[in-house]
Amino acid sequence: MSEKIRGVKGTRDVLPIDTYLKDKDPWVRVGHLQLIERTARELFPLYGYREARTPILERTDLFVRGIGQETDIVGKEMYTFDDKGESLTLRPENTASIVRAYLEHNVNQQEPETKWWYLAPMFRRERQQRGRYRQFTQIGVEALGNPGPRIDAEQIELLDRWLRKLGIAFEMHLNTLGDQNCRPNYREALQKYLRSRIDELCADCKKRVETNPIRVLDCKNPGCAEVAAQAPKMEQFLCDACRAHFAGVQETLQRLGVATVIDPRLVRGLDYYTRTAYEAIVPSGLGSQSTVAGGGRYDGLVKELGGPDVPGIGFAAGVERMALLLAQQGKEETVRPVVFFASLGPAEEARADRLAQQLRAAGIAAEVSFRKSNPGNLLKRADALGARFALVLGEQELQTGRAKLKELKTGAQHEVALDDLVRAVKELP
């Protein structure tokens, strides 16, 4: 007796049926994924973004250098393995890969500004829960070579437009993280402040004070939150250039009519972010998760990965999280056959095969019956498939060359000539 083989922990199937669901909660539907993807494919090129595809596998060092050794992603969440002496990793995010490809092909020497978008599976070895999976999909954009701030606003407006188009209710949070000039000053001041109140912080934050003090601002622990509320603000430490940049982003967004919430506590977990940071946040529907898309500027990353001093900004959206939100709203597109052929014998089946072929060639979805049965059961089958019309093909129809096209919803029958079926179906309202 062999054991039934199972999927990998933290991965999930998305199937075009209802009954595989293990729980009552809405789950990702194929139709919603298609809607999200199709909208992106249509919308992103209108903003000048072109699709880029990079490999799922990269050298581990790319992420260590790009994302940062101290981050949770690199420190404990990567799928890393040895490939005959070389360490490889399943990508946990795509920005580092995109920048690697950009540099590898010297794109900066071919065009001063580059706008790419991607749709790609990502892998992070976390404990899964609602809205968080070990394999998940991100749709994102990266704009390289443009120091902003108008590109920042344009990109935020793109995300805003996309989510609105899909009917997702969210709030766009916005913040600035400063840059290499002013962030160290802020970090130092913040650190000094946090050390003075270190007894009030949680155990994790006590460590963060030394490793990554800015993330203490993001802690949900009540004690930490209170300390954070009185902490010095980034805004007081911004250098003139960063201050002007942030003002420019806000001004452009206002001109474009994009509503944002300035959120001083919005920080980013990844080391490479500078200046503009933004997140689309939803009030509910994702369990303890609330971010459906996050983005920001990373002006130091390209250089960090061995390239020239090229600025960049991008966002990544969680496709499954978006699909979960859509599932709670219900609407989904499904493809159903227009004509179902109920054939009563071998000769009729042969004719149905050819008729279905003609309909499909004309762009009309058609399905033939493969099982031998009586008309009653075949009509049941047509109904179960959600077909609009059923056409019973028997001896009589083959002889006369005429058949009745039955509209299943109303029961109305339309007499049609088999030789003229395509035109007849097209002409029906």
222 binds RNA (CB under 7 A): no
Instruction: Look at residue 361 and give its three-state secondary structure.
Output: helix
Binding segment for RNA (CB under 7 A), chosen from 54-62, 163-171, 218-226, 418-426, is 218-226
Helix ranges (H only) for 212-333 are: 222-229, 234-237, 240-256, 301-304, 319-329
- Which of 5, 13, 22, 110 is the binder for RNA (CB under 7 A)? 22
Tokens of 428: 């029906």
- Which of 233, 303, 402, 409 is the binder for RNA (CB under 7 A)? 409
Q: What residues between 157 and 216 interact with RNA by CB under 7 A?
A: 204, 208, 215
Decide whether 168 or 242 has the Cβ nearer to RNA.
168
Beta strands at 171-176 and 261-262: parallel, antiparallel or unpaired: parallel
Q: Can you point out the beta strands (E) in 306-388?
A: 312-318, 339-343, 366-368
Q: What residues between 303 and 332 interact with RNA by CB under 7 A?
A: 316-318, 320-321
Binding segment for RNA (CB under 7 A), chosen from 156-164, 232-240, 286-294, 358-366, is 286-294
- Which of 13, 24, 222, 429 is the binder for RNA (CB under 7 A)? 24
Site string for RNA, 76-105 (x = CB under 7 A): x----------------x------------
Please check whether residue 96 is in contact with residue 58, taking contact to mean a CB–CB distance below 8 angstroms: yes
383 binds RNA (CB under 7 A): yes
Decide whether 242 or 292 has the Cβ nearer to RNA.
292
Minimal distance in Å, beta carbon 120 to RNA?
11
Q: What residues between 345 and 374 interact with RNA by CB under 7 A?
A: 371, 373-374
Decide whether 165 or 207 has the Cβ nearer to RNA.
207
Q: Report in angstroms the alpha-carbon separations of 108 from 24, 25, 101, 142, 309.
A: 50, 47, 11, 14, 10
- The answer to whether the bond into 149 is cis (omega within 30° of 0) is yes
- Which of 381, 389, 418, 421 is the binder for RNA (CB under 7 A)? 381
Please check whether residue 188 is in contact with residue 284, taking contact to mean a CB–CB distance below 8 angstroms: no
Minimal distance in Å, beta carbon 402 to RNA?
10
Minimal distance in Å, beta carbon 134 to RNA?
7
Helix ranges (H only) for 240-335 are: 240-256, 301-304, 319-329
414 binds RNA (CB under 7 A): no
Q: Report in angstroms the alpha-carbon separations of 210 from 70, 151, 215, 216, 305.
A: 12, 34, 11, 10, 25
Please check whether residue 118 is in contact with residue 139, taking contact to mean a CB–CB distance below 8 angstroms: yes
133 binds RNA (CB under 7 A): yes
65 binds RNA (CB under 7 A): no
Minimal distance in Å, beta carbon 315 to RNA?
8
Cα three-residue angle 357-363-364, rounded to 5 degrees: 70
- Which of 13, 46, 85, 127 is the binder for RNA (CB under 7 A)? 127
58 binds RNA (CB under 7 A): no
Beta strands at 261-262 and 79-83: parallel, antiparallel or unpaired: unpaired
Which among 30, 4, 33 is positioned nearest to 17, based on CA atoms? Answer: 30
142 binds RNA (CB under 7 A): no
Please check whether residue 186 is in contact with residue 234, taking contact to mean a CB–CB distance below 8 angstroms: yes
Minimal distance in Å, beta carbon 238 to RNA?
22
Minimal distance in Å, beta carbon 241 to RNA?
25
